[in-house]
Amino acid sequence: MTPAKVPHSGTMTGNDAGHGVAVNLVNLRRSYGTIHALDGLTLDIAPGEFVALLGPSGCGKTTALRVLAGLEDADSGRVEVGGKDITSVPTSARDMGMVFQAYSLFPHMTARQNVEFGLRLRHIPSARRAARASQMMDLVELSDHADRYAHQLSGGQQQRVALARALAIEPQVLLLDEPLSALDAKVRVQLRDEIRRIQLEVGTTTVFVTHDQEEALAVADRVGVMRAGNLEQLASPHDLYARPATPFVADFVGLTNRLRATVEGQRANLMGTSVPLLPGSVLRGGALVLIRPESIAVTADPAGRTTVVSASFLGSTGSLYAVTESGENVMAQIDNDTVATFSPGDRVTLVPRPNPALAVAHEAGADTTAPL
Amino acid sequence: MGALLGVLPFFAYTAIFLVIPTLIVVVGAFLDGKNRPTLGNLSALAQPQIVSAFVHSVVLSAVTAVLGAVFGALLAYAVSTASEGGLLRRMMTSLCGVLAQFGGVTLAFAFVATVGSEGFLTLWLKNIGIDLAGSTWLYEPYKGLILVYTYFQIPLMLIVFLPAVEGLRPQWREAAESLGASTWHYWRHVGGPILAPSFIGAMLLLFTNAFSAYATAAALISQGSPIIPLQIGGTLSSEVILGQENIGKAMALGMVAIVAVVMTLYVVLERRTTRWLGR
Amino acid sequence: MAGTVKLRAARRRKQTIFRRLVVALVGLFFALPIVGMVEFTTRAPGGGRTLDTWATLFDLGVINADYPELKTGLQASAGLVVLTVAIMLVMLVPTMTWVRLRLPGMRRLVEFICILPLTIPAIVLVVGLAPVYAWVAYFLGESSLWLAFAYVVLVLPYAYRALDAGLSAIDVKTLAEAARSLGAGWPTVMWRIILPNVRTAVLSASFLSVALVLGEFTIASLFSRDNLQVAINLLGKRDSSIAIAAALAALVLAFIVLFAMSFVGAARGSHRPKEN
């Protein structure tokens, strides 16, 4: 079923809303007593871009979103949308669509009435309102549930209606505050792909807050990893994964092994192999290399110096847990059809692949364990 | 079958002290002095003083229900904006819990002490030239009773309505705002409609509460029985003409009928509220 | 940035002003009669203030001698409170648990019966109870304590709701089944497994019952029995000052009881297991 195309009707909101506007958060600060929710956060989002804010609870991602929406005041700093400073503009005049984690829909209205709500407030005549609402319901593929109430819809359906409602007013920016966190795993995956599909069609600048790194990597153009009120790294999902800027990012995004190595110039000697290092790594001496499971090749070798602890079948892939002769724990990714060939106690040889990795100083590495 | 034994004590107890008395009233309303079926008791309800007592009761209950509902709702909204678990909320809820239950003699005496003939407010107002229409206004149904009843209606409204106000999710307000709603728009299109069933339901509850009240009026009014509960009380405590005792039961039946209608409406509204507010 | 307009803070301030205004006005309305009672009971014969009435109220010897009806009423109410709460708990807690465990189909019926007293005003109940109490008097005598039987009925709706909330919050079925599989008999399950877990609800139901029993007048008065409110009413005809003082004291006592209850609930709430 081909999704309905959303017509670009600039007359509705009076601005060029069809293809998004730039958003700039400039040096935002917000404190609650001694807690710094935002610590000089600066973020520039291009028109039509989909940015995910990712981080553990308390990192400030939701606060940033709410300051952008006008639901919270910043102590200092600016919020700019489309080049205009809107820091002093009240929420109701900011023209932003928002989807919440829970209780998104007005319980006393049907799905259709929810979607029409923003249009009613803008005094759109009822014929155009109904047409627009139908378009939106088609976009999120819920046209046959249009006359149901919130409590008659599943969690996923409610969020889709909330999305339709937010987009109906052709907002300048679309804000999503952990919209999938309250849903079942399977629904989450389906819905996040839908959200991305719809966003690409409509072209609205979007900010998406989540604590689930897989989700962020799957949907966003760029992901901003946040910690303690500021950005650790803002990059494309690929760069975030393959070229983490800090140990926190390396730990938070994907799985990471920490293995001892000696560093010489831009390379590290890890388990007998020379591995190139990413910028930001330490330059010499003893270090910990942060290396991904899929960057370690495993071969069965009776003379090997690493012992298998267990091998797990994960469906499309497999993982191997082993202990090196120096007592370090390693997790490596293996093909799913080789899982059965490894038993606990077997000897293997591990060889790191030549992908660039991040190296941190031994003590610093020991301290920076990313909170899950 | 053995499982049923476990609930036997409960059913036996409520049968004796709740169901049977109710049946006695309902059935007795249709029996005369010699326990023969009759509609005479019901037709006796048409006597002027009984009709007037019903009218007074209904009007008094309706007026104080509306007054209590409006001011109680305002109070509930105000309290809901206070911090949860904070002192204000705790004290208000406890205070209202007491005042709502404690109608009757205590309140009657309190008002006598305040605006009765010797009350400090009466004396103070006399000093500044306002004479409260003689010393008996407190004891008249529509003036005194309205004031005293409102005093326990407002707290009851807070207790019943506060949970509904607290059930308004902040996300609804925030979503409405992000879609362009001002405070007025929010209350007009979202907050108001969502709270309306609870508000009306609570008002109905207040009506029932006032309608059923006996103690306050009994303590205040020593002559005459202007409202129905007092009329019924009269049939129990004073000398009753032989063959007329069951008129009290007929009046009681009338009360039950009115209250049952109101409570049914209340239950219907409650169902809708539960669906929406997910409580 | 200089001059950042704090919109949210401004709204919160407006809310606070509104709240304080409303609470102050309503508080004033609530306070006036209380003040009236205090004022009335502290009037000295020649003008000015005195605490004589209050001193008398708390002087047990004088109460005993000069105000016997107050003493009788107090004693009766004290007994009624204990008896009502006891009967209510002994009857409701096992029944409600049993229904949840073995007779879920009966739940609606039990709920209906417990909510029924809300539809039957006390004044109506009294009319129907008169013959029943004639039998009670025949078997058990005329003591005011037997009013407890009627009071339990009055208390049913509030107690049921409190206990129902408490039982809903714990998984009664799982707890009971676990205990039974380990060999516990039904009394043990009830006493050592269920009851400790619904402590808050039990306390809540009990406190509500206390408030209601202390405030009850209708049934006691129309059955010509003694209780606190009846005593105060009688006293009022004789010595209004002492009566009003007693009424105020009862009010304050009930307030303290309910205020204390609000803390019990809060403390227990923090023990709820955290979601992973």
Task: Give the best residue of A117, A169, A172 to mutate against chain B (max B CB count within 10 A).
Answer: A117
Q: With contacts defined as CB-CB under 8 Å, which chain A residues touch C5?
A: 87-88
Distance, CA of A307 to CA of A349 (rounded, Å) = 9
Residues contacting B215, CB < 8 A, separation 6+: B103, B104, B105, B108, C217, C218, C221, C229
User: Is pLDDT of A17 > 90?
Assistant: no
Mean pLDDT within A17-32: 84
Tens of pLDDT, residue by residue over B71-88, are: 999 999 999 888 777 888
CA closest to C130 among chain B residues: B21
User: Is pLDDT of A363 > 70?
Assistant: no
Angle formed by the axes of helices B105-115 and C240-269, to 10°?
A: 120
CA closest to C146 among chain B residues: B17
Unique residue bearing structure tokens 């499982």: B3
Same domain, A307 and A341: yes
Interface predicted TM-score of the whole assembly (ipTM), two decimals: 0.81
For chain C, how many structural domains are there in total? 2
Q: Is A341 exposed, middle or buried (0-12, 13-18, 19+ CB in 10 A)?
A: exposed
DSSP letter for B145, please.
I
Same domain, A81 and A206: yes
Unique residue bearing structure tokens 């907002």: A171
Name the pLDDT band for C258 (thresholds 50, 70, 90).
confident
List Cα–Cα distances, A16 to A19, A94, A136, A173, in angstroms. 7, 15, 19, 12
For chain A, how many structural domains are there in total? 2
Mean pLDDT within A337-352: 91
Tens of pLDDT, residue by residue over A232-248, are: 999 999 999 989 999 89
Same domain, A299 and A223: no
**What pLDDT is attached to residue A15?**
37
Structural tokens at position C98: 């049993």
Q: What is the DSSP string of B177-207?
A: HHTT--HHHHIIIIIHHHHHHHHHHHHHHHH
Let me know if residue B5 belongs to a domain: no
Distance, CA of C255 to CA of C242 (rounded, Å) = 20
DSSP letter for B279, please.
-
Same domain, A112 and A222: yes
**What pLDDT is attached to residue C139?**
86
Q: With contacts defined as CB-CB under 8 Å, which chain A residues touch C7?
A: 70, 73, 88, 90-91
Tens of pLDDT, residue by residue over A104-131, are: 899 999 999 999 999 999 999 999 999 9
Q: With contacts defined as CB-CB under 8 Å, which chain B residues touch A149?
A: 275
Q: Is C9 on the interface with A (CB under 8 A)?
A: yes
Q: Who wins on pLDDT, B58 or B36? A: B58
Distance, CA of A48 to CA of A8 (rounded, Å) = 14
Same domain, C121 and C70: yes
Same domain, C21 and C98: no
Among B10, B13, B120, beta carbon nearest to C36: B120
Let me know if residue A235 belongs to a domain: yes
Name the pLDDT band for B141 (thresholds 50, 70, 90).
low
| Percentage of chain A exceeding pLDDT 70 | 92
For chain B, how many structural domains are there in total? 1
**What pLDDT is attached to residue B179?**
94
Unique residue bearing structure tokens 């052709």: A170
Same domain, A65 and A113: yes
Mean pLDDT within B28-46: 79
End-of-domain residue from the set A212, A242, A272: A242
- The upper half-sphere exposure of residue A158, i.e. CA atoms within 13 Å in the direction of its Cβ, equals 20
Tens of pLDDT, residue by residue over A153-181, are: 999 999 999 999 999 999 999 999 999 99
Q: What is the CATH number of the domain that holds A336?
A: 2.40.50.140
Q: Which chains touch C (3 or more CB pairs under 8 A)?
A: A, B
Name the pLDDT band for A199 (thresholds 50, 70, 90).
very high
Name the pLDDT band for A24 (thresholds 50, 70, 90).
very high
Distance, CA of A360 to CA of A87 (rounded, Å) = 40
User: Is pLDDT of A5 > 80?
Assistant: no
Cross-chain residue pair C128–B20, CB shorter than 8 Å = yes
Between strands A23-32 and A35-45, the pairing is antiparallel
Let me know if residue A4 belongs to a domain: no
| Percentage of chain A exceeding pLDDT 90 | 67
Q: How far is A79 from chain C (nearest CA, A)?
A: 11
Tens of pLDDT, residue by residue over A37-52, are: 999 999 999 999 999 9
Q: Please give the backbone phi and psi of residue A95, each rounded to the nearest 5 degrees, phi first.
A: 60, 50
Q: With contacts defined as CB-CB under 8 Å, which chain A residues touch C14?
A: none
Q: What is the CATH number of the domain that holds C124?
A: 1.10.3720.10
**What pLDDT is attached to residue A1?**
38
Q: Is A123 on the interface with B (CB under 8 A)?
A: no
Same domain, C160 and C214: yes
Name the pLDDT band for B137 (thresholds 50, 70, 90).
low
Let me know if residue A203 belongs to a domain: yes
Let me know if residue C50 belongs to a domain: no
Number of H helices, E strands in chain B: 14, 0
CA closest to A107 among chain B residues: B276
- Determine the structural domain holding residue B110 and report its residue range: 48-277
Q: Which amino acid is at A370?
A: A
Let me know if residue B40 belongs to a domain: no
**What pLDDT is attached to residue A371?**
26
Q: Is A132 on the interface with B (CB under 8 A)?
A: no
Same domain, A103 and A133: yes
Q: Is A361 on the interface with C (CB under 8 A)?
A: no
Answer yes or no: are the C-beta atoms of C202 and C90 closer than 8 Å: no
Let me know if residue B1 belongs to a domain: no
Q: What is the CATH number of the domain that holds B71?
A: 1.10.3720.10
Mean pLDDT within B7-26: 91
Closest CA to C256 of B155, B148, B159, B97: B97
With vertex at residue A66, the alpha carbon angle to CA A61 and CA A67, rounded to the nearest 5 degrees, is 100
User: Is pLDDT of A365 > 70?
Assistant: no
Q: How far is C171 from chain A (nearest CA, A)?
A: 23
**What pLDDT is attached to residue C141?**
82
Structural tokens at position C160: 């049921």
Partner residues linked to C266 by β-bridges: none
Among B178, B185, B277, beta carbon nearest to A69: B178
Question: What is the overall mean pLDDT for chain C?
Answer: 84
Name the pLDDT band for B140 (thresholds 50, 70, 90).
low
Same domain, A43 and A173: yes
Structural tokens at position C226: 């003694």
Cross-chain residue pair A87–C1, CB shorter than 8 Å = yes
User: Is pLDDT of B145 > 60?
Assistant: yes
Q: What is the CATH number of the domain that holds A223?
A: 3.40.50.300
Distance, CA of B50 to CA of B48 (rounded, Å) = 5
Q: With contacts defined as CB-CB under 8 Å, which chain A residues touch C12?
A: none
Q: 3-state class of A291 per DSSP?
A: strand
CB contacts < 8 A (A, B): 73
Distance, CA of C240 to CA of C252 (rounded, Å) = 18
User: Is pLDDT of A203 > 90?
Assistant: yes
Cross-chain residue pair A71–B190, CB shorter than 8 Å = no
Q: Is B56 on the interface with C (CB under 8 A)?
A: no
**What pLDDT is attached to residue C254?**
81
CA closest to A75 among chain C residues: C4
- Please enumerate residues of B whose Cβ is less than 8 A from a Cβ of A: 169, 171-172, 174-182, 185, 189-190, 193-194, 275-278
Distance, CA of A268 to CA of A261 (rounded, Å) = 6
**What pLDDT is attached to residue B139?**
64
**What pLDDT is attached to residue C138?**
87
Answer yes or no: are the C-beta atoms of A253 and A241 closer than 8 Å: yes
Percentage helix, strand, coil for chain B under 3-state DSSP, each rounded to 5: 75, 0, 20
Distance, CA of B124 to CA of A323 (rounded, Å) = 91
Name the pLDDT band for B238 (thresholds 50, 70, 90).
low
Closest CA to B214 of B241, B235, B240: B235
User: Is pLDDT of A4 > 50?
Assistant: no
- Determine the structural domain holding residue C192 and report its residue range: 60-269
Closest CA to B177 of B165, B189, B166, B167: B189
Same domain, C105 and C230: yes
User: Is pLDDT of C269 > 60?
Assistant: no
Same domain, A149 and A293: no
Cross-chain residue pair B189–A120, CB shorter than 8 Å = yes
User: Is pLDDT of B202 > 60?
Assistant: yes
**What pLDDT is attached to residue B230?**
87
CB atoms within 10 A of CB B75: 27
Same domain, C31 and C86: no
Q: Is C270 on the interface with A (CB under 8 A)?
A: no
Unique residue bearing structure tokens 């206390």: C210
Residues contacting C25, CB < 8 A, separation 6+: none
End-of-domain residue from the set A242, A264, A282: A242
Closest CA to C120 of B12, B259, B262: B259
Closest CA to C100 of C90, C112, C110: C110
Between strands A173-177 and A96-99, the pairing is parallel
Same domain, A299 and A224: no
- Determine the structural domain holding residue A346 and report its residue range: 256-367
* Least confident interval from A77-86, C34-43, C64-73, C212-221: C64-73
Same domain, A64 and A191: yes
Let me know if residue C208 belongs to a domain: yes
Same domain, A174 and A33: yes
Name the pLDDT band for A351 (thresholds 50, 70, 90).
very high
- Mark out the alpha helices in B116-145 (DSSP H runs): 120-127
Task: Give the best residue of B169, B174, B179 to mutate against chain A (max A CB count within 10 A).
Answer: B179
Most distant CA pair in chain B, distance: 75
Q: How far is B59 from chain C (nearest CA, A)?
A: 18
Same domain, A24 and A153: yes
Distance, CA of A129 to CA of A110 (rounded, Å) = 15
Task: Give the best residue of A73, A89, A92 to mutate against chain C (max C CB count within 10 A).
Answer: A73
